Chain A
């Protein structure tokens, strides 16, 4: 394992759980991001952001600044419901820290 991979031990599974919690039929609903806090690992805080060409949504928690020690981060491309039945490309990112 590369050192960078062990960093994501917490963030990768959290990303999967967040994705399950905020998506329907594989499509992320930005309004549902508030639910993401429920799937945080015990004793940890989770910030979630979805970024698209139309804008950025969060679960209301500001992510810690990049490079801060003790912060795990993971990201994946997702499809996002943009209203009016449109589904657009986006990127879901989670940060996990104590």
Chain B
């Protein structure tokens, strides 16, 4: 398989924009530090996650609208296998973004994933982290452009805390999407537009998407499917720009559909655009680590 395309789709399917250094907010000194220790280890430990894109192909075949475009490939084909490497915190952050959904109609807090192409990846991350952190650690990685946004993703690992004596630590992982420039705080419309553009570019990074679309199936088909789902969820039309693989234009069309909603959300929730801009978290994934009980097994 073409190495460049393979790399591109791998990047795309992981929203590989999620990289970089983590910052850790210490929990109060009253805690015993066990959550901090887990957070530190998540930020500094690396791992490789092997997964398959097969769930995405299976989903396309099962869908009336996408079945015609589904790639003709055996579900156990090595061409669908991928490997992702990174810090555990970085993998968790990518997993949160990878499972992102969009719902402009509902009031749901748990958004279902746009496509299942990355279901293997998120499951792989969950297993990889769980195998290390064990049964008395809960980790929640969340990406949300702003509180209550109609777009976002979440990846949870481990059981819910079974005790009141819970210690917590928070990691903030950059998504790789450039933060908002100060000028966006001039007005709610401008802010909503900037958040919408960044949101779409994280859901479908235009550079890797363009490469993938110009390449072969299965990667091209899966990206087309992702665009179709995103366009349907936002009531946008992207078929014209995608005939020329113009992903920047396709993303702009989707962002134009999202922007009014995002501007309205922020206007209704915050007194000023400056306050709203401070609440925007489109550029980072928040990872909350909670520990309780005996985390002391010598494993």
Contacts and interface: CB of A to CB of B under 8 A. Distances in A.
A55 B298 CA distance: 13
Given A86-B46, A88-B47, 9 more contacts: A25-B44, A51-B298, A73-B296, A73-B298, A75-B297, A79-B45, A88-B45, A89-B45, A91-B299
A74 B296 contact: yes
Main SS class of interface, B: mixed
A75 B41 contact: no
Counting chain A CB atoms within 10 Å of each CB, the highest count among B37, B38, B295 belongs to B37
A12 B41 contact: no
Contacts of B140: none
Interface string A55-98: 00000000000000000011111111000001111010100000
A14 to B, nearest CB: 14
Contacts of A73: 296, 298
B88 interface: yes
Contacts of A78: 37, 40-41
Nearest to A88: B45
A77 B33 CA distance: 11
A57 to B, nearest CB: 13
A88 B32 CA distance: 23
Interface string A23-60: 00111000000000000000000000101000000000
B263 interface: no
Nearest to A93: B298
Interface string B56-97: 000000000000000000000000000000001000000000
A76 B37 contact: yes
B214 interface: no
B26 interface: no
Interface residues of B, number: 20
A91 B295 CA distance: 11
B133 interface: yes
B45 A91 contact: no
Nearest to A25: B44
Contacts of A74: 296
A86 B85 CA distance: 11
Contacts of B296: 73-75
A89 B88 contact: yes
B34 A91 contact: no
A51 B88 CA distance: 18
Given A76-B34, A79-B45, A26 B40 contact: yes
A16 B46 CA distance: 22
A74 to B, nearest CB: 7
Contacts of B133: 77
B298 A91 contact: yes
A73 B38 CA distance: 18
Contacts of B132: 77, 89
Contacts of A86: 46
A75 B40 contact: no
Residue among B32, B38, B45 with max Cβ neighbours from chain A (10 Å): B45
Nearest to B48: A86
24 contacts: A12-B32, A26-B40, A49-B298, A51-B298, A51-B299, A73-B296, A74-B296, A75-B295, A75-B297, A76-B34, A77-B38, A77-B133, A78-B40, A79-B40, A79-B45, A80-B45, A86-B46, A87-B45, A88-B46, A88-B47, A89-B45, A89-B47, A91-B297, A93-B298
Q: Which of A27, A79, A93 has the most chain B CB within a 10 Å cutoff?
A: A79
A7 to B, nearest CB: 10
A25 B88 CA distance: 17
Q: Nearest 4 CB-CB pairs, A to B?
A: A79-B44, A76-B37, A89-B132, A79-B45
